[in-house]
């Protein structure tokens, strides 16, 4: 506790650095994964190829990727770009699979209706498939966000500061409470970003709320089962 | 390129001096040791949840929370709590904590994914609950359990790489040693060796999965004909999606 009283002033700096380092890979990973996921969903050939590739990419241990990228890309080890690119690779790897699942979750009947109504490919993807794939995309993005926030901490081993600083500093100075603070703050940051994504999802996709809250759904089901009287009650 | 030659030379030296086998031995001992302990803890609990259907929310919650847990921080926290002498035990505890959620999810989702009529049929022909568990649910759920063990193993392999930071050796040792010394060829070579190990383990589990597919009938509910590509259930996705490492 003494440590916290003496060091709380450093917390905002590491918290915001951590947040800054997390947001870019999450956002870029999401945008890059959408077309990849669509390709994986649409064509058998690309599906096998892409899903195998992203599976292999995600298998790579983070520290190894942090050490592998700088010589390949000509970056210095201490650069943030190194960690950002590595985390983006993980984000794309995780998200592409979710995106393929998400496009697969769109009802083929709805898709065919859009085609029948004369929607072109791009307009169909943009106005029909993407919104309907939204809930599954959001689920995938939440996983990506939470694991990215956790992975940022490993960057401290290649000299990129984040809340991971409290892990190494606390470990070297033998202050368990400092390490504990780092772990808790990392998890709280992940939780906060996760919560924001849920709120964002509710704002953008009001139709995707749980069906309990939509009385119309209950009515339609009731019509199907012939139990309208019970539903009205 | 200069780096490639230097890296190959470093790898040759690393293998030639026998250090590779020592570090690989340390790495695999930690990995398989902690995954085995996690199996002993997680499989019975997962089977209990899967068989009774109780406590599912708890398991889902644990798996979700585990994803947010920074593995490196957990390892350093446990090590700094117990002190220097007990370091290996603390590290093992951290690896086990990291491995349990994936295996738990694999164990219970494997059983949950079985078609309920299959289980009811087993009950109807007079099998006891134990027989149902061992002769029906455990074999049919094995495929997803192996998937869970695969995620757990890969996550632990990645985290053991970080154990060199607290002087516990493993293949992360030459890697972490190289970065502050700016020995690019050593960092590059060690990273390649770690990646090859992870890919080999992944491939081994892939092979086990293929074998299981041949040996065991699926027992899962038939796919709905309306949708050409079955979308994984939320639970199955949860097992597939690996946690951060």
Segment A152-200, tens digit of pLDDT: 999 998 888 899 999 999 888 888 899 999 999 999 999 999 999 999 9
Q: A167 CB contacts (<8 Å, ≥6 apart)?
A: A153, A156, A179, A182, A183, B70, B72, B73, B76, B77
Shortest Cα distance from A94 to chain B (angstroms)? Answer: 7
pLDDT higher than 50, residue A224: no
CA distances from A216 to A48, A117, A228 (A): 40, 26, 12
Q: Is A164–B166 a contact, with Cβ atoms under 8 angstroms apart?
A: no
B198 touches chain A (CB under 8 A): yes
DSSP category for residue B70 = -
Any domain includes B225? no
* Position with higher pLDDT, A10 vs A197: A197
Q: Give the B window 4-63 contacts with A, CB below 8 Å.
A: none
Q: What is the mean pLDDT of residues B76-87?
A: 84
Boundaries of domain holding A12: 2-232
Any domain includes B222? no
pLDDT higher than 70, residue A32: yes
Assess contact for B37 and B92: CB atoms under 8 A: yes
* Position with higher pLDDT, B121 vs B6: B121
Shortest Cα distance from A233 to chain B (angstroms)? Answer: 30
Q: What pLDDT score does A48 carry?
A: 83
Domain with residue A39: its CATH number is 1.10.3720.10
Q: B107 CB contacts (<8 Å, ≥6 apart)?
A: B42, B43, B45, B46, B47, B49, B50, B141, B145, B148
ipTM of the complex: 0.80
pLDDT in tens, B132-151: 988 889 888 898 999 999 99
Any domain includes B180? yes
Any domain includes B196? yes
* Contacts B243 to A, Cβ<8 Å: 147
Q: What pLDDT score does A226 carry?
A: 45
Q: What pLDDT score does A195 carry?
A: 92
pLDDT in tens, B4-34: 888 888 888 888 887 888 899 999 999 999 9
How many domains does chain A fold into?
Answer: 1
* Contacts B182 to A, Cβ<8 Å: 77
Any domain includes B212? yes
Domain with residue B115: its CATH number is 1.10.3720.10
* Contacts B232 to A, Cβ<8 Å: 101
DSSP, collapsed to helix, strand or coil, labels residue B100 as helix
b/e sequence A141-161, b meaning 16+ C-beta within 10 Å = bbbbbbbbbbbbbbbbbbbbb
How many domains does chain B fold into?
Answer: 1
Any domain includes B19? yes
Per this entry, what is the length of chain A?
Answer: 233
Residue holding tokens 């991971």? A164
Helix, strand, coil tally for chain B in percent (to 5): 80, 0, 20
Any domain includes B36? yes
Q: What pLDDT score does A180 carry?
A: 92
pLDDT higher than 70, residue B219: no
Any domain includes B223? no
Boundaries of domain holding B122: 2-217+231-240
Q: Considering chain B, what is the average pLDDT of its residues?
A: 84
């Amino acid at each position: 506790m003494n440590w916290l009283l003496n060091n709380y002033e450093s917390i905002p700096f590491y918290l915001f650095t951590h947040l800054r380092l997390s947001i870019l890979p999450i956002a870029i990973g999401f945008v890059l994964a959408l077309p990849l996921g669509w390709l994986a969903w649409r064509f058998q050939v690309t599906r096998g190829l892409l899903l195998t590739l992203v599976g292999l990419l995600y298998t790579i241990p983070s520290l190894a990727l942090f050490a592998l990228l700088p010589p390949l890309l000509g970056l210095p080890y201490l650069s943030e770009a190194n960690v950002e690119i590595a985390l983006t690779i993980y984000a794309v790897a995780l998200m592409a699979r979710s995106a393929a699942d998400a496009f697969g979750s769109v009802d083929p009947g709805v898709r065919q209706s859009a085609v029948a109504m004369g929607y072109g490919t791009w307009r169909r993807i943009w106005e029909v498939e993407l919104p309907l794939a939204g809930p599954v995309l959001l689920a995938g993005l939440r996983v990506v966000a939470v694991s990215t926030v956790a992975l940022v901490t490993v960057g401290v081993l290649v000299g990129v500061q984040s809340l991971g600083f409290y892990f190494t500093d606390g470990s070297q100075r033998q202050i368990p409470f400092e390490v504990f603070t780092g772990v808790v703050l990392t998890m709280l940051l992940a939780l906060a970003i996760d919560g924001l994504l849920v709120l964002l999802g509710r704002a953008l996709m009001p139709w995707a709320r749980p069906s309990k809250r939509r009385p119309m759904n209950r009515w339609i089901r009731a019509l199907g089962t012939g139990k309208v009287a019970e539903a009205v009650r | 390129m200069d780096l490639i030659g230097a890296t190959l030379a470093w790898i040759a030296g690393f293998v030639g001096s026998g250090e590779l086998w020592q570090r690989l031995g340390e790495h695999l001992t930690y990995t398989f040791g902690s995954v085995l302990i996690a199996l002993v803890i997680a499989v019975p609990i997962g089977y209990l949840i899967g068989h009774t259907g109780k406590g599912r929310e708890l398991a889902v919650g644990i798996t979700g929370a585990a994803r947010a847990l920074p593995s490196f921080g957990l390892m350093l926290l446990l090590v700094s709590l117990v002190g220097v002498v007990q370091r290996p035990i603390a590290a093992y505890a951290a690896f086990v904590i990291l491995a349990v959620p994936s295996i738990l999810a694999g164990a219970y989702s494997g059983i949950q994914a079985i078609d309920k009529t299959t289980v009811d049929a087993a009950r109807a022909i007079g099998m006891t609950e134990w027989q149902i568990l061992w002769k029906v649910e455990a074999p049919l759920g094995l495929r997803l359990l192996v998937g869970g063990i695969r995620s757990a193993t890969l996550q632990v392999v990645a985290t053991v790489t970080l154990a060199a930071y607290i002087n516990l050796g493993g293949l992360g040792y030459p890697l972490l040693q190289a970065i502050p010394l700016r020995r690019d060829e050593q960092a590059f070579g060690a990273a390649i060796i770690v990646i090859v190990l992870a890919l080999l383990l992944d491939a081994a589990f892939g092979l086990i999965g293929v074998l299981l597919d041949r040996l065991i009938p699926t027992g899962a509910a038939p796919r709905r004909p309306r949708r050409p590509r079955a979308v994984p259930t939320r639970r199955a996705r949860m097992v597939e999606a690996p946690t951060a490492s």
